[in-house]
Every structure is written in C-alpha cells, then in structure tokens.
Structure 1
Amino acid sequence: MQDPVTTAAQYLLDADGLLITAGAGMGIDSGLPDFRGPQGFWRAYPALGRAHILFEEIANPEAFVQDPEQAWGFYAHRLALYRETQPHPGFALLLAMAERLPRGAFVFTSNVDGQFQKAGFDAARVAECHGSLHYLQCFHDCRGHIWPAEDFSPTVDAARCRLLSPLPRCPDCGALARPNVLMFGDWNWQSGRTEVQRQRLENWLATVERPVVVEIGAGTAIPTVRWFGEMRGAPLIRINPGEPEVCTGQAVSLALGAHVGLQAIARELRAAGFLD
C-alpha cells in the first residue's frame, strides 16, 4: 500500500486546480482556540463557564437581545484575537502549491477569522460559508447592508466577557449592529456577501478539469465543510488529527495537524520538483 503522504502529493501533481476546504482545526497551529465541547469553550471563556453559558447560547442572536454587552464582549474579544493572530506557515505552503497549478486555488471555509486573506490569499478566491467577523450588519437587517468592521475598535473586559466601549450601531437606522456571521438559531443573518463568494466559487469550479480537494481541520459536529468537499467527486486529501476517517473512493487521510500535515506533503512535492 502506498504511503498516504505520497498519495496526497500525487493527487496534487495530477491536478489543475486546488480546492481548499477548512474548518476550525486550520487555525489551531496559529494559536486560535478550538471550542471542542463545553469544557474547551469554558477554558477559553471562563466568565461564560462560571455562568454555565454554552457556545450555542452566546453564539446566538438571542444573546444580543438578552445582554448585548456580554454578547459583544464575546465577539469583540474574538475579533481582537483574529486581528492579532498571524497565520501559521501551513497557509504559505498552500499558497505555494496553488501557484504551481494552472487554475490556482479557491478556499471554502466555515471559519470567520479572515486568516486566509491575512495569509495572502486573494479575497476574491475565498468563500466564507458562515460569514466573517470582520464585517458587521444591522441586527434587524434593516436595509440588507454589510459593512467592514475596521472602524470598530472595541474595549473588552476579558475577565468578565463584557464590552466596555459603546455598542456598534447600524449607520442606516441606529439599531444595534451585530457580526455578519451565521449564528445558531439565526434568522436575520445577511447572507448577501457569502452568496457572492459562493457564486465566484461555482464559476471557478466550472473552469477546473482536474480538481483536488485538500480538507483541513473540518469536523463532523457541523459537517458543512466535509460534505462540501466530498460532494465534488474529486480526489480528497483529509488532514485531521482527531477525525481523519474517509469514506469516499479516491481519498487519503493524514491524522496530523494542519501545519505538520502540509509540511509532509510539501516535502514530497519538493522531492518531485513541484515546489522549490
């Protein structure tokens, strides 16, 4: 049986376009938290743990109704973390692979952290299926507008998970603004920006004759990313230390973290003369 890393490298050598599908596990090597179960979430946000508030409860529009300062304390802390965090070297390895392929790469991710764009990926080649924390919208979606959060500079009491600075407001109606991210039980998420991204992705896929899917850190709890990659019917490389199993035909799994897994593939590609 061929070594899985060698198989993964061969999939890339045979491809003309790279579809990168990424879940929360992609950011772990950059130092971003992975909210794996209530205990993992509460370790990252002990104030919410003391109040026994689950991730599904704070990442919910109802949290902005009940206690907007607490809800924004959670999201503003994450926004600051994403702004400060530098992408790990695995992102650069993916970029290098993409540059060698005729059709380049496109990213499909459930992450709302903007790390792919920060790592140098073309924003027009990234589809964020759950939106982005770097964008805001009206809580009531009054006019369907989405705007960048770059002018929002929140002050957060991290120990209490509370926003200390003024709440962000919709520039159109003055109501509370919220992150343009898909939450649990979310009926007012403005999906227009994501829909444009998805259309760009579909247009790109139509130009690729021999795609390869590299899936990184996508779990089964919310399997959107895994399903999207599996449904392409293309060779699949799954990099996941905790849930590496594959059930599609032409697929290989690496039970490794994002950076280590990509490094292993890159070594094979260098040996083949594909990467410098």
Structure 2
Amino acid sequence: MDYDQKLKTAASWLREADGILVTAGAGMGVDSGLPDFRGEEGFWRAYPALKSHNMGFQDIANGEAFRRDPVRGWGFYGHRLNLYRNTIPHEGYDMLRRWSAAKERGAFVFTSNVDGHFQRAGFPANRIVECHGSIHFLQCTRSCSHDVWSADDFHPEVDEEQCLLTSPLPRCPKCGNVARPNILMFDDWDWSDIRAKRPRMRLEAWILGVERLTVVELGAGRAIPTVRIASERNGPRVIRINTTEYTINPTIGVGLQGPALAVLNDLDSLMR
C-alpha cells in the first residue's frame, strides 16, 4: 500500500475503535521543539559543553555517573527540566485527546518520554504509564526508601555553557542526601518504579475492557524498543508513525512515514 492507502486504513481503524492506546517515544516531542538525541553529534549540538569532556548521552544519563558528579548531572537534567516546563506540547496531543474523547473507552497512554507533556496536554494522569519515569518527580540517590516526590518546588539554575548546576542541589527529605530525577537511567539499579507500577495495572485492566482497540505509536525507535514492544503486543491494529523506522509487519499494523504532527494532521483531516 502507498501512503494514502495506509492513511485511509489507519483512519478507518480509528473511527471503528472503542478505545485508543497511544504509545509514544522521543520522536513525539520533536515537533514541540525538543531536541532529538539521535547519535552523539545530535546530542552534542544540544549540549556542546559535554563534547569537550567526551561525554555522550549514555555517559551523562547514567545512574552511577550521576552519583559521582551530581552537579554536572543536574546541569544536564536541570536544563531539561526547565526546557520541558517552558515548552508547549504541539497540536498533535490535542488531536489525540479529541479523538479519544469520542470513544466509549477513551484512551490510555504508554510513553518512554519523561517530559510530562501528555499531562500538560490534558490527558488524565491516572491513564498515563511513564515507563521510564518522569523528570517532574524526584527520589533519593542513595535509595534510603522507595519514596518519590514532586519536583515542583525545585527550580534549577544552570550554567548552560559548562552544563553545571549553580543553585543548591535538591535533597532527600528523609536522609538529606542528594536527590535525583525519578528517571530510569543507563546502568541504573536505584530507580524507584513505584509511580509506574499502578498505572501499568490500570492499563492492563483497561485493555481487557476494550473490544476494538487501535494503537497509535508515535516516534518510537528500535534502539530502546520498550514502546514498540508495547505497541505490537496489543495489535493487530497498530498505526506506527515514524520519520525513518516506520516499517511494521502488515499482520500487526500499518507504518506511516513522517513526523508525528504532520501525520496526525493528515489523519485528522480524514477523521473530521
């Protein structure tokens, strides 16, 4: 099938659905203006200070590295926290929410993104699984407990040229050790997944009540396939939207090549 034929198939699945599972990876945020860390050069364009230290994404987004140098770790994550707070989610989120509102069973979201933009766009927090955590919550670096708390009172000041936190480090209210983002990092044995467990159970219960499920997958790559696996296990009506890695087994779904917002716009024109 060509693009237009696949688009019509996808639109018909969406019209017939009584529930929509939205699965999203990093590509969903690109149309909002968030950086894409594909490849070291792409990462270093966003964080040039780390290039001089030969630090890639896996080096700074690393549980042990964060414990060794939390000032630099919070230079990176503090900048990201400010960026996500100041970035407005693109119109594609509203399209998904509008389609879902018309469905008997509504929608559920499964995302590896830590930006909190689905909540910002109006999706109910109790219907969002953030499988890699959220930057808007904190936990203890020393894992003195499994507690997770809001980052709303933390306002990081960052020297962006050096990628260093210049304001005081956040602290665990229980033990006083440095706090960290409640995000699953690389080589990370300390992440507290307590916030993700309950939504996962609600998601499984929700799926059991959906008779005509359609999955809309947006910007999820193969490198860390958590989101793609979640999509495919809930086929056979998976709509995969991706600029490059859009192919999918035709027995599971259809692949639509393009940025998330552009393809959602194309689908929305057929849904009206």
TM-score w.r.t. the length of structure 2 is 0.97
Query: Could you tell me how far 1:248 is from its partner in structure 2?
Result: 4.6
Q: Which runs of 4+ in 1 moved over 6 A?
A: none
Tell me the equivalent position of 1:33.
35
Partner Cα distance (1:110, 1:144) in 2: 20
Query: Which residue type is aligned with residue 206 of structure 2?
Result: W
Corresponding position of 1:64: 66
Does the aligned pair in 1 maintain the 2:232–2:252 contact within 8 Å? no
Give the Cα separation in 2 of the matches to 1:168 and 1:179.
Answer: 10
Shift of 1:120: 0.7
1:42 aligns with one of 32, 41, 44: 44
Q: 1:189, CA displacement in angstroms? A: 0.4
Instruction: Specify which of 157, 160, 164 is matched with residue 158 of structure 1.
Output: 160
| SS of 2:138 mapped into structure 1 | strand
2:173 aligns to what? 171
Q: Is the contact between residue 157 and residue 163 of structure 1 (CA under 8 Å) also seen in structure 2?
A: yes
Shift in Å at residue 65 of structure 1?
A: 2.6
Please give the secondary structure, in 1, of the residue aligned with 2:236: coil
Give the corresponding residue for 1:11.
13
Structure 1: how far apart are the matches of 2:215 and 2:246? 14
- 1:81-121: CA deviations, max 9, x gaps? 00000000000000111011110000000000000000111
2:244 counterpart residue number: 242
* Contact 2:235 2:253 (C-alpha < 8 Å) held by counterparts: no
Determine the structure 1 residue equivalent to 2:118: 116
Alpha-carbon distance, 1:15 to partner = 0.9
1:265 paired to 2:259: no
Q: Hey, what's the Cα distance between the residues in 2 that align with 1:171 and 1:264?
A: 48
Q: Percent identity?
A: 55
* Match in the other structure for 2:191: 189
Tell me the CA shift for residue 203 of structure 1.
Answer: 1.5
CA separation in 2, counterparts of 1:264 and 1:81? 28
Whether the aligned pair in 1 keeps the contact of 2:219 and 2:260 (CA below 8 Å) is: yes
Rounded Cα–Cα distance in structure 2 between residues aligned with 1:185 and 1:45: 21
Which amino acid is the alignment partner of residue 99 of structure 1?
A
For residues 83-162 of structure 1, the aligned pairs below 5 Å read 83-162=85-164
Distance 2:246 2:235 in 1: 18
Q: Give the number of equivalent residue pairs.
A: 270
Aligned residue number for residue 54 of structure 2: 52
Is the Cα contact below 8 Å between 2:236 and 2:251 reproduced in 1?
Answer: no
Give the Cα separation in 2 of the matches to 1:225 and 1:117: 18
Equivalence for 1:273? none
Which stretch of structure 1 is more off in the superposition, 19-28 or 62-71?
A: 62-71
TM-superposition CA deviations, 1:103-141 (whole Å, max 9, x none): 000000000000000011111111000000000001112
Aligned to 1:254: 256
Written as runs of structure 1 = structure 2, the 5 A alignment for 1:187-226 is 187-226=189-228
| Secondary structure, aligned partner of 2:239 | strand
Structure 2 unmatched runs, 5+:
none
Please give the root-mean-square deviation of Cα atoms over the aligned residues, in Å.
1.0
1:274 matched to which residue of 2?
Answer: none
How many angstroms apart in 1 are the aligned matches of 2:213 and 2:160? 43
Cα separation, 2, equivalents of 1:183 and 1:85: 22
| 5+ residue gaps, structure 1 | 271-276
CA distance in 1, matches of 2:227, 2:148: 24
C-alpha contact 1:230 1:248 (8 A) present in aligned 2: no
Contact persistence 1:241–1:255 (CA under 8 A): yes
Contact 1:134 1:179 in 2 (8 A): yes
Counterpart-to-counterpart distance in 2, 1:218 and 1:175: 35
1:175 & 1:249 partners in 2: Cα distance?
51
Deviates more, 1:44-53 or 1:244-253: 244-253
Look up the equivalent residue of 1:183 and give its one-letter code.
Answer: M
Is the CA contact 2:25–2:219 (under 8 Å) kept in the aligned structure 1? Answer: yes
